Amino acid sequence: MNACGNQGCMPWRVKPCGQASEPGGMTQRSCVYFGARYVLGPVREAVHLVHGPVGCTYYGAMVRGEARDLCGTALTEREIVFGGLDRLRKALREVWSLYPRARGAFLYATCSSGLIGEDLAGLARQAEREFGRRVVAINCPGFAGKSQAEGHALAYQALLDLVRPLPRYRYPTVNLVGEYNVAGEAREIRRLLEKLGVRVHTVLTGDTSWSEIETLARAHLNLLFCGSTARRFVSELRQRLGIPYLKVSFYGLSATGASLRRIGEVLGLSSTRVEALIREEEAGVLARIRPWLRIFDQRRALVVLGAGRLGPLSRMLRELGFEVLGVASVFGSPEDHREAAPFSDFLTDDPGDDEFERALAVLRPDLVITNAREQWRAVKLGFPTLSFPQERRRGPYAGYQGFTNFVLSLARVLSAPVWGLLGL
Amino acid sequence: MINQIINQVSEVPLEGITYKKLRPGKKPLTPEYIPPPPELVPAAKRAVCIDPSRTCMPFGAMWATLGVHRAIPFVQGAQGCTTYVRYTFSRVFREPASIASASFHEDAAVFGGRKNLVRGIRNLVCRYKPELIAIVTTCSSEVIGDDIQSFLAEALEMMEEEFGPEVLDLTRFVVVHTPSFAGSHVEGYNRAAKEFLKALSRRSGQPSEDLYFIPGFLMPGDLRELKHLLELMGVSFHVLFDISDTLDCPLVGMPNRIPYYPPGGTRVEEFVRAGDARAIFALSPDAGAAGAKWLSRRYQVPAFVLPMPLGVGNTDRLLKTVSEISGRPIPEAVRWERGILLDAMADTLHYTMMKRVALAGDPDFVAAATRFVCELGMIPTYILVGTKSASAAEEIWKTCEEYNCQPVLMNGSDQFEWEYALKQDPPDLILGHSRCVNISREIRVPLVRFGFPVYDRIGYQREPIVGYRGGERFLARIVNAILDHHYPDDRTHQ
C-alpha cells in the first residue's frame, strides 16, 4: 500500500496551481455555480433565479455565511425528462410581480439544466423582449470548470455586459472591485477613502445594485482588491471604456499605507493630506495593538485559504511577527502563488483533508488560518484556528480599524485558555 | 398639571405591561413593502420556488453515511455537491465532516463518470482507508446515466490488480441513488437506510433479542436520550446511522493515527446482524421507514414505523411498543421521568394554553411537534411541511382531530407561502429551523429553534427534544421564549 500517499516528512506533495482535483482526494474546491453565486449573490435590485433542482436553490441562498434572496425553478423528474424551459418561462413571468423592485434578472444554469441541454441564453433574449427588462443568463453548470474560479469569471463576464458608457463624475470617484464586504470591510475602506475626499461609487460585489453596476463607468478609477476573481473585469473595462485600474490591498498596515499613497498619486490628491491620514490612523492602531504584539512573536502559522487572500494575509502575519510555515491555496491562480511565495517554503494548491492533517502533524503550527468548512478539523486536532471569511461579529479585517480587529481576533485565538487545558 | 399627567397614565395591569402593549403599532414590515399578487402566493400555483424548506437528496444519504463508523460518502457529481454539504454540516455541528467528491468536470459530463469513480475509489481507499464507502449519486451522474455497479466492479478489479486481493477485504461498498430532482434530503436518508440494509444485512439463522432503530434526522443529543430510555428499559438495542459520536466528539488533540476519524458511529457488523433482529423501528416515517420495511420483507423482522418520540403521546407509543415486543415492563425510572414532564406541563400551562403557534420544518419533526404543542394546549395555525409527505399529513390531521383544531397545512410548499400567511395573521410563537429567523424578526414573534438545520445558536445539537426529559427541555425552551418575548421585564413575573 506504499504506492500511494507516502510522502515522508514533507507536509504535503507540492502541486502547482491550475490542475484539476483528483477524484476522491477530498478536495475543498467547489463548483462553478458556487463561484457564480459567490460573486453575484449580494447584487441588489436583481432577481436571482436558479434553473435546477431544489438543492441548488437551498444552498445557493447562503453566500459567505449570509442569507441572500434566491429563487429557483425546483425541477422535478418530469422536467428533467421532458425539458424544463416551459417552467422557466413561467417562472420568469412570475418573478417580476414577486420582486417588483428588480431591474433585471440573473439566470443561473445548474448541472441538471446543463446536461439536459436547456438553452438559457436563448430564453433570456426572448424574455428580455417580452418583459422589457434585462435577463442575463449565466452558463454555470457545476461541472463546467475545475473549481469555483471559473464561476467567478463567468459572473464578472455577466456584469461586464451591464456596464454602459457614461460621462465621469466631477469629483474624484472610485469603484471597489473584487471587494466582497466580508463583515463590513467595504465600510472601513469607504471611511478611509472618504477622509481623503474620494467618493466610492459602488463596491463590486459586496455592496452593490443593478443600477450602480450599470452606471459604474461614471467613476474615474477602479480599485482592484481580489485579483484572482476580478482582474479580467477591470482590464476589460480599461480597454472598453478607458477606466484605469489599480491593484490595491487593505490588509495590514504597510499594504494599506502603500495603497492609499498610490490612490493619492493616481487621483492627484495632496500628499500631505494622505500622509497625515496614514500617520493619524497608524498611531491609533499601534497604540491599541501594542499590548498584544508580544504573544505573536516567533509564533508559527499555517495558512490554507481560497485564493486571493494568501499573499496579503501572509504579509499581515509577517508584519505581526509570525513565521509562516506553509501556505496552501484551494483554487489559487499563478498570481496568488507569486504573491504568497516570498513568505513560505511550502506552497501548494488544493490539499486534500489527509494532506491538511499531515501538515498539521508534521509542522505543528501555533496558529492555523483556514476557511469556514475546514476550521473544525484543525480545532478538533487541538490547533488554535482562525477562520475566513470571518463572522460579522468579529468585524472587518481590512484597513486600519480592520487591522486592529484582526489582531484582536488573533489574540483571542492564541491566548484562549482552552488550548492549555488539553492534557488531563 | 401633575394630576393631569398622572391621570393620563394608564393603569398597569397586574401581570405587567406586555410586549404587545409596549408596541402599539404592530405590523411595521418595511415601509416599502409591496404585497405579492394573491394568485402567486400558493406554491402550487407558481413555477418559481422561493426559500424552500428542503434541500437535496444526496444530503440525506451523506447524513446517514456519516453515522457509520469510519465511513466516507463518495459523491459521484460535481464538487459543489460536496462542498455545499460539508459547509452545512460544519455550520450545524461545528465538526469536521469527511466527504469525498468525484470532481466531475466537463469531460465527465461528456464521457460519463466512469474514470472519476474508478480513480476516486482507489484514491479514497489507499489514502483514507475507510471501512465503508457509500457511493452517493447526484443529479449529474443520474442524468448522464452512470452505471455505478459496473464502474464499481471495474474499480475493484483494478485495485485487486494493483494491490493484491486482500485490498477487497478492507472496505465495504454501498450504492445510494439520489438524484436531487426526484426528492428531498428526507427521501435521500430513506433511500440510504434501505440501501445500507440491502447491501450489508444478513441472516445467520440464530435469532437475537436485539432491537434495531433507524432514527432519521435526530441530533446527537436526541440519540443519547433515546439510548438512555432504551437502557432504562433494559433491552439490548442498536441505533443505525448513529451520529451521536461522529458529529459530536470531544476535542482530544492530535490523534495517534491520521487521517482523523471520529470514534463513534454504527459498526458495519451491526448492519450485518440486522437480519437476526427481534424487531426494527423507524422513528421517522419519512426518513428510514423504507429500510425497516425492506428488512421486514426480506428477513421477516417485525418492522414498526412510529412517529418521532417527541412529547408525551409519541414517547408513550414508542415505549409501549418496545415493552410489548421485548416483554419487559416499563420501569419506575421511566415513569418518574414522565411524571416530571407532566409536572412541568402543569406548572407552565398558563403560558402555553391557547397560544397560537406556527410550525415549519421536515415532515417527521413537524408531525411530532404538532402533537406535542397540542398536548401543551397550544393551537397550531400554519404548518409548513418542507417535503411533501402523506404520512406527516395523516399524522397531523389525526392529531388535530383529537385536539379539535383546524390549522392550515402547507404540505411540500415553500417558506414564501407560509411566511405570507404569517404576515397576515401573526401567531404567538414560531417553531421552526434557523431559516425562519427572518420572518420571526419581521413580524416580531419569538422563534423556538428545532429540527434541521439549527446553525445560529450554540449547543442545540446536544440538547435533546425527544423522550420525556427531552420533552421537558423542549417545553422549557418554548416557555422561556414566551417569557422573554411577551414579558420582557422580569420584575413583573410573579
The CATH code of the domain that includes A189 is 3.40.50.1980
Residues 379-408 of A with CB under 8 A from B: 379-382
Q: How many CB atoms lie within 10 A of CB A80?
A: 22
Report pLDDT digits (tens) over B263-278. Answer: 999 999 999 999 999 9
Quick one: A150 and A95 in the same domain? Answer: yes
CB contact under 8 A, B81 and A142: yes
Cβ-contact B229, B338 below 8 angstroms: no
The percentage of residues in chain A with a pLDDT greater than 90, rounded to a whole number, is 81
Q: What is the pLDDT of residue B2?
A: 54
Query: Confidence class of residue B354 from pLDDT cuts 50, 70 and 90?
Result: very high
User: Is the per-residue pLDDT at B204 higher than 70?
Assistant: yes
Let me know if residue A96 belongs to a domain: yes
- Residue type (1 letter), B463: E
Question: Longest C-alpha distance within chain B, in Å?
Answer: 100
- Best of A58, A97, A123, A152 to disrupt the B interface (most B CBs within 10 Å) is A58
Q: What is the pLDDT of residue A90?
A: 95
Quick one: A201 and A260 in the same domain? Answer: yes
Query: Confidence class of residue B72 from pLDDT cuts 50, 70 and 90?
Result: very high
Task: Give the whole-angstrom CA distance, residue A386 versus residue A266.
Answer: 35
Q: What is the pLDDT of residue B492?
A: 56
Residues 37-76 of B with CB under 8 A from A: 37, 40, 46-52, 54-59, 74
Q: What ranges in A268-381 are assigned the alpha helix state H?
A: 271-296, 310-319, 334-340, 353-363, 375-380
Residue B29 cell numbers, joined:
414590515
CB contact under 8 A, B49 and A72: yes
Q: What is the pLDDT of residue B491?
A: 61
Report pLDDT digits (tens) over B4-46. Answer: 555 554 544 445 444 444 444 334 445 566 788 999 999 999 9
Chain A positions in Cβ-Cβ contact with residue B260 (cut-off 8 Å): 357, 377, 380-381
Q: What is the pLDDT of residue A24?
A: 92
Q: What is the pLDDT of residue A422?
A: 86
Q: Give the mean model confidence (pLDDT) for residues B173-188.
A: 95
Residues 154-193 of B with CB under 8 A from A: 162-163, 167, 179-182, 184-185
Q: What is the pLDDT of residue A1?
A: 34
Task: Give the whole-angstrom CA distance, residue B395 versus residue A316.
Answer: 58
Instruction: Tell me which chain B residue has its CA closest to the CA of residue A95.
Output: B48
Report pLDDT digits (tens) over A358-378. Answer: 999 999 999 999 998 889 999
- The DSSP output letter for B360 is E
CATH architecture of the domain with range B211-247+263-330: 3-Layer(aba) Sandwich (3.40)
CB contact under 8 A, B79 and A71: no
* Residue B440 burial by Cβ neighbours in a 10 Å radius (0-12, 13-18, 19+): buried
Quick one: A218 and A122 in the same domain? Answer: no
Give B57-183's CATH code, choosing from 3.40.50.2300, 2.30.30.90, 3.40.50.1980, 3.90.1150.10. Answer: 3.40.50.1980
CA angle A330-A336-A339, nearest 5°? 135
- B246: which residues sit within 8 A by CB, 6+ positions away? B66, B67, B69, B95, B262, B263, B264, B265
Segment holding B235, helix H or strand E? none
Q: What is the pLDDT of residue A373?
A: 86
CB contact under 8 A, A34 and B55: no
Task: Give the whole-angstrom CA distance, residue A112 versus residue B182.
Answer: 12
Chain A positions in Cβ-Cβ contact with residue B433 (cut-off 8 Å): none
Dihedral sign for Cα atoms in the order B109, B113, B119, B124 = positive
Q: Which of B139, B305, B366, B448 is catalytic?
A: B139
Quick one: A243 and A316 in the same domain? Answer: no
Q: Which residues pair with A200 in a beta bridge?
A: A174
Distance of CA B423 to the CA centre of its chain: 26
- Residue type (1 letter), B104: F
Quick one: A297 and A271 in the same domain? Answer: no
User: Is the per-residue pLDDT at B132 higher than 60?
Assistant: yes
Is there a catalytic annotation at residue B143? Answer: yes
Quick one: A47 and A133 in the same domain? Answer: yes
- B181: which residues sit within 8 A by CB, 6+ positions away? A53, A75, A76, A77, A79, A80, A112, B139
Q: What ranges in B255-389 are assigned the alpha helix state H?
A: 268-272, 289-299, 312-326, 332-347, 349-352, 363-375
Query: Per-domain residue ranges for chain B?
Result: 57-183, 211-247+263-330, 336-492
State which fold the B336-492 domain adopts.
Answer: Rossmann fold (3.40.50)
- Best of B45, B83, B114 to disrupt the A interface (most A CBs within 10 Å) is B83
- The DSSP output letter for B212 is E
Query: Confidence class of residue A11 from pLDDT cuts 50, 70 and 90?
Result: low
Determine the 3-state secondary structure of A63 from DSSP.
Answer: strand
CB contact under 8 A, A145 and B49: no
Cβ of residue A141 closer than 8 Å to a chain B Cβ? yes
Query: Confidence class of residue A204 from pLDDT cuts 50, 70 and 90?
Result: very high
Quick one: A271 and A296 in the same domain? Answer: no
Let me know if residue A78 belongs to a domain: yes
Quick one: A184 and A104 in the same domain? Answer: no
Quick one: A147 and A189 in the same domain? Answer: no
Residue with the three cell numbers 437528496: B57
Q: Minimum mean pLDDT among A64-73, B362-371, B426-435: which range?
A: A64-73
Let me know if residue A27 belongs to a domain: no
Residue A252 cell numbers, joined:
495590514
The mean pLDDT of chain B is 91
Q: What is the pLDDT of residue A388?
A: 86
Q: What is the pLDDT of residue B242?
A: 97
**Upper half-sphere CA count for residue B278 (Cβ side, 13 Å):** 15
Segment holding A306, helix H or strand E? none
Q: Which residues pair with A207 in a beta bridge?
A: A203
Quick one: A327 and A389 in the same domain? Answer: yes
Last residue of a domain, one of A105, A128, A155: A155
Cβ-contact B484, B446 below 8 angstroms: yes
Let me know if residue A166 belongs to a domain: no
User: Is the per-residue pLDDT at A309 higher than 60?
Assistant: yes
Task: Give the whole-angstrom CA distance, residue A51 versus residue A70.
Answer: 11
Residue A161 cell numbers, joined:
455586459
Determine the 3-state secondary structure of B145 from DSSP.
Answer: coil
Q: What is the pLDDT of residue B488?
A: 64
What's the total number of domains in chain A?
Answer: 3
Is there a catalytic annotation at residue B41? Answer: no
Quick one: A179 and A65 in the same domain? Answer: no
User: Is the per-residue pLDDT at A49 higher than 70?
Assistant: yes
- A46: which residues sit within 8 A by CB, 6+ positions away? A40, A102, A103, A104, A105, A106, A209, A210
Residues 312-351 of B with CB under 8 A from A: none
Task: Give the whole-angstrom CA distance, residue A53 versus residue A38.
Answer: 19
Chain A positions in Cβ-Cβ contact with residue B188 (cut-off 8 Å): none
- Best of A6, A15, A26, A330 to disrupt the B interface (most B CBs within 10 Å) is A26
The mean pLDDT of chain A is 91
**What ipTM was reported for this prediction?**
0.94
Query: Confidence class of residue B383 from pLDDT cuts 50, 70 and 90?
Result: very high
* Residue A416 burial by Cβ neighbours in a 10 Å radius (0-12, 13-18, 19+): exposed
Contacts 24+ apart (CB under 8 A), B291-294: B291/B190, B291/B193, B291/B194, B291/B196, B291/B197, B291/B214, B291/B240, B292/B193, B292/B214, B293/B194, B294/B194, B294/B197, B294/B198
Q: Give the mean model confidence (pLDDT) for residues B87-94.
A: 94
Range of the domain at A326: 291-421
User: Is the per-residue pLDDT at A7 higher than 50?
Assistant: no
Quick one: A342 and A372 in the same domain? Answer: yes
- B403: which residues sit within 8 A by CB, 6+ positions away? B374, B375
